[in-house]
Amino acid sequence: MIKKNLKFGLVGAGFIGRTHALAIHATRQVFADLEYLPVPHMLCEVSAALAEKAARNLGFERSTDDWRKLVDAVDAVIVAVPSQLHREIALNAFASGKHLLCEKPVGLNSEEVEQIRAAAKQSKGCHAVGFTYARAPMIMFAKRMIDDGKLGRLLHFSGRHDEDYLADPDATFSWRQESKVAGRFGVLGDLGYHILSIGRMLCGEVRAVCGLTETFYPERKDGSGTVRTVENEDYAALVGRFANGAAGSFQSSRVARGSKQNLSFELSGEAGTVRFSAERLNELQFYSATDESSTQGFRTILINAAHKPYDSFIPAPGHGLGFNDLKTIEIRQFISAIAEQRSCPPDLDDAYAISKICEAVLQSNAEERWVNLR
């Protein structure tokens, strides 16, 4: 059967835009059962020269320095630019009936996520958000174990996403520290969003939080040596209650010396516990209270064909996936959602709920009290 092409447009070819570009190509090769063939059609960057060069390097058919032209030319738009631009591009895409894969945090604050979500509801376009880690096979498998009752009643979740990209006090000021470009959140909108997406996926809605934030380095020099004020938090922590009665704690830091991709969690239920770390992306640790006592202990489950869609990448167990493969899974899930005319969770609804949690953390810290959500 000849498959219909789905023309993709990529806005932004920086750190994460590049991984999306690689993923569009890889999706065609990795997944034989695609409903549509993704075509890397148009790439947009800040200047025509930059766009042309990136399009050539990343295998796109056309390039532009005007994202409006891109929206007109494609079926699906990937937004991989700083948060300041998310809203306008997303609203434009939905008004034109295009599908949207938007990077987190989706706009500058919860009001913008809500506007984008409202536009999605009026549009025939499908939507997904770049909650990349939530699509990791071993995390999706942990979710399946919970749904199958392997952990029993959930008791407590403890998760963190720490990195050290700003641990050096002399690290250069970037758009991520400027609230008019990055939005209301610092590390919360960058790393906190990921671990919150996983906590919610596994344990459900968060109902109340008590938060703490810190900006350890209030000033940094930009590329020209000018001292700039850091306008958002380096560190955030919260304790919270899930609607199902489980307790939760979360932390995110961009100044955690030695943490390179420390997205990790431990979730305990009455019948067992799971542990995961993105630095060991292809493993899940599981302790079962029903194991025979003489051999009881945490066992390491290594990725294999049972952990879909690993076997689409490689038939041999334990050989492993990496971050770029998670982006490929994201594109594959997005294409399926488009074919089935539904959204692709974690999606704009999840981004909205997470933006409200993060705002509650900032409020809790400012007012030194617990904050209820809804």
Kindly state the smallest distance separating residue 77's Cβ from ligand NAD, in Å: 12
- Give the DSSP H/E element, type plus range, for residue 349: helix 348-367
User: Binding to ligand NAD by residue 85, rule CB under 6 A?
Assistant: yes
Considering only 107, 130, 199, 345, the residue that binds ligand NAD (CB under 6 A) is 130
Interface segment toward ligand NAD; rule CB under 6 A; list 7-15, 154-162, 283-291, 302-310: 7-15
Give the helix, strand, coil percentages of the chain, each rounded to 5: 40, 25, 35
Cα(94)–Cα(5) distance, rounded to whole angstroms? Answer: 20
The nearer residue to ligand NAD, 14 or 318, going by C-beta atoms, is 14
Residue 78 Cβ vs ligand NAD, minimum distance, rounded to whole Å: 10
The CA distance from 131 to 125, in Å, is 19
Residues 225-264 close enough to bind ligand NAD by CB under 6 A? none
x/- binding map, residues 34-53, to ligand NAD, per CB under 6 A?
A: ----------xxx-------
Which residue bears the tokens 């991989």?
80
Helix (H) or strand (E) holding 25, with range, is: helix 15-30
193 versus 286: smaller Cβ distance to ligand NAD: 193
CB of 258 to ligand NAD, least distance (A): 20
Instruction: Give CA–CA dist 334/337, Å, rounded.
Output: 5
Kindly provide the b/e burial profile for residues 199-213, where b requires at least 16 CB atoms within 10 angstroms of the residue's own CB: bbbbbeebbbbbbeb
For residue 308 the two structure tokens come to: 């879909």
Q: Choose the stretch contacting ligand NAD; rule: CB under 6 A; options: 13-21, 28-36, 236-244, 254-262.
A: 13-21
Judged on CB neighbours under 10 Å (0-12, 13-18, 19+), 73 is middle
The yes or no reply on residue 82 touching ligand NAD (CB under 6 A) is yes
- Looking at the Cβ atoms of 14 and 322, the one nearer to ligand NAD is 14
Judged by CB under 6 A, the residue of 24, 74, 78, 81 near ligand NAD is: 81
The two three-digit tokens of residue 309, written as one number: 């869609």
Q: Is 14 in the site for ligand NAD (CB under 6 A)?
A: yes
Choice from 11, 113, 210, 353 touching ligand NAD (CB under 6 A): 11
Determine which residue in the list 71, 80, 136, 274 makes contact with ligand NAD, applying CB under 6 A: 80
Residue entry with tokens 């943490």? 259
Q: Is the bond preceding residue 105 a cis peptide, omega within 30 degrees? A: yes
Residues between 88 and 107 that touch ligand NAD (CB under 6 A): 103-104
CB 318 within 8 A of CB 305: no
What is the rounded CA–CA span in Å between residue 232 and residue 213? 9
Q: How many helices and strands (H and E) does the chain possess?
A: 12, 17
Q: Using the rule CB under 6 A, which residue among 27, 132, 177, 333 binds ligand NAD?
A: 132
Q: Answer yes or no: are the C-beta atoms of 236 and 197 closer than 8 Å.
A: no
> Minimum distance between the CB of residue 131 and ligand NAD, rounded to whole angstroms?
7
Binding mask 139-178 for ligand NAD (x = CB under 6 A): ----------------------------------------
Q: Is 12 in the site for ligand NAD (CB under 6 A)?
A: yes
Please pick, from the candidates 15, 224, 257, 290, the single residue that binds ligand NAD as defined by CB under 6 A.
Answer: 15
Whether the Cβ atoms of residue 110 and residue 352 lie closer than 8 Å to each other? yes
Summarize as ranges the residues that interact with ligand NAD (CB under 6 A): 11-17, 44-46, 67, 80-83, 85, 103-104, 130, 132, 190
